[in-house]
Chain A
Amino acid sequence: MGDKFDNWLDGELAKGYMRFGPGPLPAGAPYGSRERLRSTALATKVVVVLAAIALALAATTAIAAAAATGSANPLVWGQYMQSVVTTCKGQLQSGQHGIGKCVSAAARQKGAQERNQHSNGQGHGRTSPGQTVSPRSTP
């Protein structure tokens, strides 16, 4: 008795399927496009974070350079560093290599000097581009 209903139901659902479809699959699998969107969003986030880190590093460097030279002008920072490097190179004895220690010592010394000038109320003791602080000699 139930078989007739079952058979009828099977037939109706099969007919319904033929009417309903099976149609062509939608262009572009939904999971693919959404996952791609997700990965694109992730890539954008990574780029933004990297850009923020680069910006922060540049800002820190600029602040350090400004503190060392007492000038906000990057040209002054460049000239100052150039003079320090030249001085440090001149102090190298023959056969010696590496001026890193000498340069960082010069920068520290200059920073300390700037801080002292600030605390003594001498305002921004600007160092003229040509004027250099003699770096401590390094071994």
Chain B
Amino acid sequence: MNVEMSPLEAGCLGTRSSYCPPQMPELDYKPGSLEDFDRLYRSSYNRVLYTLYGMLGDRAAAEDCTHDAFVRAFRAWKTWKPDAPAEAWLHRIAINVAYTFARRRRLGEIGQLVRRLGKPAPAADPVEVAETSDVFRALSKLPHEQAAVIMLRHHHGYTNREIAFALGAPESTIASRLAKAKKRLREELNWSEAPSNVVTRPDKAVVLEDGGQG
């Protein structure tokens, strides 16, 4: 039986292990070591940034939160326990920073709405809109905790257990949150699947899989 392990399960990010994909450096971190934290920063910065971008849908905000998260993580680095993967621990801090940021932003938006009182909202930056893909537009409409599980599972390949650690929630909660997130994402994307190999999205041309032409 071939049991596939994710890099996190294999321990690549937290402890020394012989099972690590070639693109992922074998890392063994020591809590409190400045050199190890620098390595963690170099290996995780872009990954954490991308997770937060998926949650917040705003690159500048994601960068601010990522910086903040690394500062907090650095202060708490001595307390990190090697039994938990370092990157998942980092994600936990970063996602909490993003939640706080999103709450403040929502409050700010309510304030703006009250001040505008009936005037139209300012238009979004057209360049940013053009650069944002459908997935990210749809993700930005999901609750932040749902967007976070989508990013951790479908980009980073975390298992439910790893996501549970990163989000500080029970695995059963993660499973149901993931199911809800995917359902909501399909609705936002107007995704429907035909019974055959034809995948259709009402707002797009028909996409034929397995080399078909749409």
Task: Point out residues on A near B: beta carbons under 8 Å.
Answer: 1-2, 4-6, 8-10, 12-17, 19-23, 25-26, 29-32, 34-35
Cα distance A17–B136 in the bound complex, in angstroms: 11
- Find the B residue at minimum CB distance from A10: B154
B71 near A13: Cβ-Cβ < 8 Å: no
CB proximity of A17 to chain B, nearest CB, Å: 6
A13 near B155: Cβ-Cβ < 8 Å: yes
Q: For the complex, is B18 an interface residue (Cβ under 8 Å from A)?
A: no
Pick the contact of A30 from B67, B182, B199 — CB < 8 Å? B67
CB proximity of B171 to chain A, nearest CB, Å: 19
CB proximity of B134 to chain A, nearest CB, Å: 8
B182 near A23: Cβ-Cβ < 8 Å: no
A16 near B135: Cβ-Cβ < 8 Å: yes
B50 near A5: Cβ-Cβ < 8 Å: no
B41 near A4: Cβ-Cβ < 8 Å: no
- Find the A residue at minimum CB distance from B191: A5
B193 near A1: Cβ-Cβ < 8 Å: yes
Size of B's binding interface in residues, CB under 8 A = 36
CB proximity of A22 to chain B, nearest CB, Å: 4
Q: For the complex, is B185 an interface residue (Cβ under 8 Å from A)?
A: yes
Cα distance A13–B53 in the bound complex, in angstroms: 11
B46 near A31: Cβ-Cβ < 8 Å: no
Q: Given the complex, which residues of B lie within 8 Å of A21, measured CB to CB? A: 46, 49-50
Q: Given the complex, which residues of A lie within 8 Å of B47, measured CB to CB? A: 22
Q: Is the interface of B mostly helix, strand, loop or mixed?
A: helix
B50 near A20: Cβ-Cβ < 8 Å: yes
Q: Given the complex, which residues of B lie within 8 Å of A15, measured CB to CB? A: 133
Q: For the complex, is B165 an interface residue (Cβ under 8 Å from A)?
A: no
B42 near A17: Cβ-Cβ < 8 Å: no
B199 near A4: Cβ-Cβ < 8 Å: yes
Cα distance A31–B73 in the bound complex, in angstroms: 8
Residue from A2, A6, A13 having most chain B Cβ neighbours under 10 A: A13
Given A12-B133, A16-B133, A26-B63, 15 further pairs, Cβ under 8 A: A1-B193, A5-B193, A9-B135, A9-B154, A10-B154, A12-B135, A15-B133, A17-B50, A19-B133, A20-B53, A22-B47, A25-B42, A25-B46, A32-B74, A35-B75
CB proximity of A11 to chain B, nearest CB, Å: 9
Cα distance A27–B197 in the bound complex, in angstroms: 47
CB proximity of B182 to chain A, nearest CB, Å: 7
Query: Lowest 3 A-B CB distances belong to which pairs?
Result: A31-B74, A22-B46, A30-B67
Q: For the complex, is B45 an interface residue (Cβ under 8 Å from A)?
A: yes
Q: Given the complex, which residues of A lie within 8 Å of B133, measured CB to CB? A: 12, 15-16, 19
B46 near A23: Cβ-Cβ < 8 Å: yes
Q: Given the complex, which residues of B lie within 8 Å of A10, measured CB to CB? A: 154-155
Q: For the complex, is B142 an interface residue (Cβ under 8 Å from A)?
A: no
20 contacts between A and B (CB under 8 A): A2-B182, A4-B193, A4-B209, A5-B193, A9-B135, A9-B150, A9-B182, A12-B133, A13-B54, A13-B151, A13-B155, A16-B135, A17-B50, A19-B133, A20-B50, A20-B53, A22-B47, A29-B70, A31-B73, A35-B75
Taken residue by residue from 8 to 26, chain B's Cβ proximity to chain A (1 for < 8 Å, 0 otherwise) reads as: 0000000000000000000
Q: For the complex, is B38 an interface residue (Cβ under 8 Å from A)?
A: yes
